[in-house]
Structure 1
Amino acid sequence: MNTKLLLSMSLRNVRRQGRKSISTLVVMAVSILALCLLAGYMQSNVELIENAFMRWGARGHLVIERPSSQLAREVEGAGQNPITAAMQGRIDRVLSADPAVAARARILRISGMVSNARVSTIFAGIGQDVQEVRRIKGPAYEYDVVAGTPLWQEKRAHPLVLGQGLAAILGCQVPKIGFAPAQPGQTPASRPVDCPPGPLELTVSTRGTERINATQAQATGIMDWGIKEINDRLVVMPMADAQGLLNTSEISEYHVLLADGADLDAARDRLAARFRQAGLDVTVFRWSDRAAFYQQVKTVLGGFLNFIAIVAGIVGFTSLLNASYMNFSQRAREFATLRSLGFTRRFVMTLTALENSWLAAAAALLGIACALGVTWAVRAAKIMWTPPGSSNAVPVEVAWVVPVYALTLFGVVILAALASAIPTRKILRRPIRSVLTES
C-alpha cells in the first residue's frame, strides 16, 4: 500500500470536503475543551488537597498507628490503641535507621472542655512535636497561624493555638482571613492575638489513676484548619503539655515525612517489615489511607471526569459518524472509480479513515489549544473562592495535564477511524458497476 499516496490523497480530500465538516469540528473541539479543562481542574484540586493533608495538616507521607480493630484499619478515627513510651523508643530507632525518612513527629489526640471567665465549650485537638511538625510542613506551611505566633516561634510557657471558630466562641477577635501558604521570598503577615484577659482552663479525663485533670494555658495563636467543623473545636499544644494534661507518656500516632524521590509504597512495606521484626504491634498506613475527605473528593471529581469523558466520546463519535455518512455517501462513485482502477477495498477504507483522522486531529488540536489558553488565563487571574464546608478561600486553578492532552488526541483519532469504517463498509459492499451506472 502506497503510504505517501494515501497521505496526499487524504489531505487533499480533507481540504476539498472540509467545509462540509465545520460543524463537526466545532462540536468535537468544544467537547475536548470541556474534557481537558475538567481534567486540569480535578488535578489541581487533588494536588491542593494532597498538600493540605501532607504539609498543611503535617501528616507527611506515612502514618503509624495501632488500630484496635479491623474497622479501625479501614476507617480513620474508628479507634486505636496508644503507643507506649517503650514502643516509641523502638519505633524511633527503626525510623532513624531508614535513609528514606526525612522527618517524624509524634501526635497525641486530646479532647475535653476549655473555658475562660465567660464561656465554656468542648475542644478536640492534638499535642505535637513542635519542631518536627515544622519540618514536615516545610517553608510554605510552617507559619500556620492567621494571628499570633506559631508554636515553633513561641517562647512563653504553656502556649496554645486555637482554631478560628473556637477562638471566636471564647471571645477572641478573629481576623476575617484564611490561611494561605507562603510563596518563595514572602514574609507572612503578623497579626496580634486579641483575646479576653486571663488564662484558658482546659479540663480532660486522664489515662492515669487521676481521672480528671486540668491546666491553664495562654492563647498565643489562632489557626485556620480549612474546615469549619474542625476550626470550631481545634486546640494545638506542644507534646509535653498535652502529655502532662493527660497524665501519660503515651501517644496516638506518628507522622512520617519521606525524603524527596523516595518510593512511598516501598518505604511503607520496608518499615512495616522492620517493625514486625522488632516485635512492634503497629501498622504503617499511606497518608491517603487515613484521609477520608481526600478519598471522597477524589471519587466525586473522578466520577465527574469519567462522565464528561463518556459524554464527550459519545458526542464526538456520533458527530463523526454523521459527517462520515453525509460525506462518504456522496462520494460513492469516487470510491467505485478507485476500485475500478485497481485500488483495493483496504486502500479505500484506509483513505477514509485517514480523512476522518485528519479532521479529528484538527478538532482535538483546536480544543486543546483553547484549553491551554483558558488554563493560562485562569492561572494568571488568581481567582479565589470558598468551597462549601471550607473556612477559607482557595485558588481556582487548572493544572497543565499533558497526559490528558495526548490521550485525548490519540482517542479521538481512534474514534474517527472507527466512525469512518461503518459507512465505508456499507458503500463498498455495493457492486462497482451498479454504483458507476447510477444517474
Structure 2
Amino acid sequence: MKPPATRVLVIGYVWPEPRSSAAGGHMMQVLETFLTQGWDITFSSPAALGEHKADLQVLGIAERAIELNNSSFDEFIHELAPDIVLFDRFMMEEQFGWRVEKCCPDALRVLETSDLQSLRDARHQRLKSHLKAHPDSDDFSALFTPALTQECQLMADTDLAKREIAAIYRCDISLMISNVEIRLLTEQFKVPAALLHWCPLMMEAPTAPFTPFEDRAHFLSIGNFRHAPNWDAVLWMKNSVWPLIRQQLPGAQLHIYGSYTPPKATALHNPALGFHVMNWAEDALAVMSAARICLAPLRFGAGIKGKLADAMLCGTPNITTPIGAEGMVDDQPWPGVIEQSAPALAAAAVALYQDRSRWVQAQEDGRQLLAHRYDQNIHGPALIECLEQCRSNLANHRRDNFTGSMLRHHAHKSTQYMSQWIEAKNRSL
C-alpha cells in the first residue's frame, strides 16, 4: 500500500509574487521542488493579496487565508496535521511557532530566511551614518568589504538580530540563500551548522542562443520599489552614476522597472536625460533580454540578487557592487564588472556597453556561473535529502539543539500569552 503523501504547510509573510521579487521567486522554486516529490502543499498567509500574486491553485497547491492572534489557526492546523511546516521569514515563526508546536509537536519546523534581514538593516544604518558624515561621498569601498567580525559587531546589539537568530535556533532547519550568511552565522554567532542548509536560487542554465550584442540597446535596472536597497540604488543612479554615463554616452537610455512604483519614483522620470521610470514589467525576462547592460549599483543589502540571476539567464552582462555580487560567486569569473564608486561604475558601464568582445565573454561567464552554482538538479534533491534526514532523526536533532529548546520554552510562552490577550481584547471590542 502506497504511503500517504507528505503534508506541507507554508505560513507566508506575503503571498508569493515571483515576478516582483527574488524572495517570491525563491519561494516558488522551493514549492516546485516539493511538488516534484508529490507532496501535498497548503500555502497560508495573514497578508492581503498582492497585485502580482502567483496562481498557486493551478499548480495543485491549496490556499488558505489565516489571521494573526486568532485561535482559528489552531483548529485549522490541527485538522491539516502537517508533517512539515515552513515559516516564510522569522516574523511568521514568531507569530505562529508556538501554535505549531502546541498542535503539531512532531512536525518538522523549517525557516525560509530569504536573506538575513538583520544584516541588511545593519548595513542600511551604516550607510545612513556614512552619508550623514560624508554627504558628498561617491566611493563606498569602506562599506563594501568589512570583515565578518565587523558585520557581527554591527548586528550584535540590535533587537532585529536577536529576534532573527532566535527564530533560527527555534526551528529545526533554516534555508539560507547565501553561503556568506552561513559563514557569518556559524563563525561569528556560533550557530550550529546542523541548523542551516544552503539553498540558493535554483535554475537551469540556458542552452539556447542569447539575443546578440547588435540586437540589444540601452541600460536596464529592475527591482521591487518596496525593497529599500532597490530604491536607494535608483537614487544613487539618478544623482551620481547615470549623469556620468550620459556624459560619455549622450544618447544613452536607462529603463527602470519595478513593482509597486511609488509617486516618488515616477517623479524621477526624465526622458530628456534618458532616465525612464517604466513601472512594472509584465515579462521581466523579455525586457532583460532586450537590454545590453543591467545596472545594479546596490549600496546595501543581504542575501543574493534575483535581478542578477535573471540577467545571467538572459545573457545580459551586469555592472554591480560587492554587495550585489556577495554570495553569488566563488572563484568563477563575474559576468560583468564589480566596482565600488560612482565614477568606476559609470566607466565600467560605458566600456562594457561598447566593447563587443568583452560583452560576449561576460555573457558566457554568466551561463557558466549559473550551471556551476545554481543548478536546480543539484540543489532541489539536496533540499529534499536535508529535510528527510532531519525528519528521520528529529528527536536527536532537537536534543542536540538545547539552545533552541530553551528559547522555545521562554519565548513561546510570552508570545502565547500576548497573542491570547490580544485575541481576548479583540473579542471584547
The TM-score with structure 1 as length reference comes to: 0.22
Q: Which has the higher contact order (CA 8 A, sep 6+)?
A: 1
Who wins on radius of gyration, i.e. which is larger?
Answer: 1
